[in-house]
Amino acid sequence: MGHRDIAIMIGQRELAVDFKVARQRQEGFMNVLHKHGVEFNPAYEVVSDFSSRTAELAMDEFLARKKLPTAIFCESDEMAFGVYRSLQKKGMRVPQDISIVGYDDHEFGSTIGLTTVAQPVRFLGQLAASQVMARIETSADVEFSQMNVPTELVVRDSVLKIN
């Protein structure tokens, strides 16, 4: 969409030590920037936890800076909801002032027009259930498998195309 100054809201590192998914989302974000020749500004890293309220407070602090990004990627839709509220409190408009992208395709996201990265939640639930059942039904330890699942960018109204 043409953005070059993009922030990322990440989960607190001490909370994410064993939370591989959060690290993978951050790595994916960095890979996409690199692929498009966009340099990441470390000053645009906003740290929160994964709750909407804490994300709102973190964004309140971030907005006190002189130079702001044109967009922010949040590691979860919950975080994006908090960012959205923070921007509204400051009288800023989404996406005209700052575009927002979330992750998870939370059902509430469509209500506010949140652009988000969707993953096949139903499939992931079925996969997790089948792995748990396999572990219950066998006496031997069953290793949990890891797999990459496809994601899809669901473009709604929270991102402005800029030149």
Tens of pLDDT, residues 55-101:
999 999 999 999 999 999 999 999 999 999 999 999 999 999 999 99
Q: How much is the pLDDT for 31? A: 96
Domain membership of residue 100 (yes or no) is yes
Give the DSSP letter of residue 136. Answer: H
Question: Do the Cβ atoms of 71 and 6 come closer than 8 Å?
Answer: yes
DSSP secondary structure letters along 83-125: HHHHHHHTT--TTTT-EEEEES--TTHHHHT-EEEE--HHHHH
Q: How much is the pLDDT for 97? A: 98
Provide the number of structural domains found in the chain: 1
Q: Read off the CATH number of the domain in which 82 is found.
A: 3.40.50.2300
Residues of the chain with pLDDT > 90, as a percent, come to 67
* Token reading at 28: 């994916």
Domain membership of residue 78 (yes or no) is yes
Confidence of residue 22 (pLDDT cuts 50, 70, 90): confident
Domain membership of residue 71 (yes or no) is yes
CA-based nearest residue to 3, from 87, 92, 101, 93: 101
Domain membership of residue 59 (yes or no) is yes
Domain membership of residue 161 (yes or no) is no
Domain membership of residue 145 (yes or no) is no
Residues of the chain with pLDDT > 70, as a percent, come to 91
The residue range of the domain holding 51 is 6-119
Q: How much is the pLDDT for 14? A: 60
Q: How much is the pLDDT for 127? A: 80
Considering the entire predicted model, what is its pTM?
A: 0.86
Domain membership of residue 163 (yes or no) is no
Question: Is residue 16 predicted with pLDDT exceeding 60?
Answer: no
Question: Is residue 142 predicted with pLDDT exceeding 70?
Answer: no
